[in-house]
A and B are shown apart, each in its own frame.
Chain A
Amino acid sequence: GNSVTQMEGPVTLSEEAFLTINCTYTATGYPSLFWYVQYPGEGLQLLLKATKADDKGSNKGFEATYRKETTSFHLEKGSVQVSDSAVYFCALPGSNAGNMLTFGGGTRLMVKP
């Protein structure tokens, strides 16, 4: 079935550093791909999504490109801030009928001033 693998954390960066969090997927067809963010003490929020191959999702300075050749959807940001410290989850629809999403294990990002 559909699955997603993302890099384990924590990822620790200094403010203004470049961020990449890797996500690769296995899927039947070309489902939508998602990145969710969870700030401390809060629920998961949709950060960005891409609905088809070669699409680029973007939000709050974060970007991810749907690459079917490498089955990847890596999350990037050119200059991170302390406020970006959170856990990031990659996700895609499950392969079963229905509306389920399959989530990666999450990557914790810590940004130091």
Chain B
Amino acid sequence: DAGVIQSPRHEVTEMGQEVTLRCKPISGHNSLFWYRQTMMRGLELLIYFNNNVPIDDSGMPEDRFSAKMPNASFSTLKIQPSEPRDSAVYFCASTLRGNYGYTFGSGTRLTVV
């Protein structure tokens, strides 16, 4: 298996632009998680899905952030409009069961200028 695949690896955008991050989980995994990592705040859970349904989005910082999972093999995290404080590394992870642990993607490093 190719693991959890995220794209793009790096994204540089101007403030106010829309940004879309993509994730392909491991085939057969039924839970998907989006995290944000910064030096100041560490690793933060933004949202997670079970069987393509959003279960907990309490970590989404504000309405500018939205996430979708239209099918079991694809998810997006969208920021519109983007702001410089959104600059961070965004990780996607998937699992079949929590007791098995997660598999993380390599992350998308987002820079908003």
Residues of A within 8 A of B (CB): 31-32, 34, 36, 42-46, 49, 51, 89, 91, 93-94, 98-101, 103, 105-106
- Determine if B107 and A94 form an interchain contact, defined as CB atoms under 8 angstroms apart: no
CB of A98, distance to nearest CB on chain B (Å): 6
Closest to B44 in A: A103
- Determine if B42 and A106 form an interchain contact, defined as CB atoms under 8 angstroms apart: yes
Q: Does B104 contact A (CB under 8 A)?
A: yes
Interface residue total, chain B, C-beta cutoff 8 A: 26
Q: Does B98 contact A (CB under 8 A)?
A: yes
Q: What is the CA–CA distance of A51 and B97 in the complex, to the nearest angstrom?
A: 13
Residues of B within 8 A of A (CB): 4, 30-31, 33, 42-43, 45, 48, 50, 55-56, 91, 93, 95-107
- Determine if B104 and A99 form an interchain contact, defined as CB atoms under 8 angstroms apart: no
A-B contact pairs, 6 of them (CB 8 A): A42-B107, A43-B105, A44-B102, A99-B48, A105-B42, A106-B42
A91 CB contacts on chain B under 8 angstroms: 101
The 10 A-B pairs with the shortest beta carbon distances in the complex, nearest first, are: A43-B104, A99-B98, A93-B98, A99-B31, A44-B104, A32-B99, A46-B101, A43-B106, A43-B107, A99-B95
Q: What is the CA–CA distance of A94 and B92 in the complex, to the nearest angstrom?
A: 18
B56 CB contacts on chain A under 8 angstroms: 98, 100
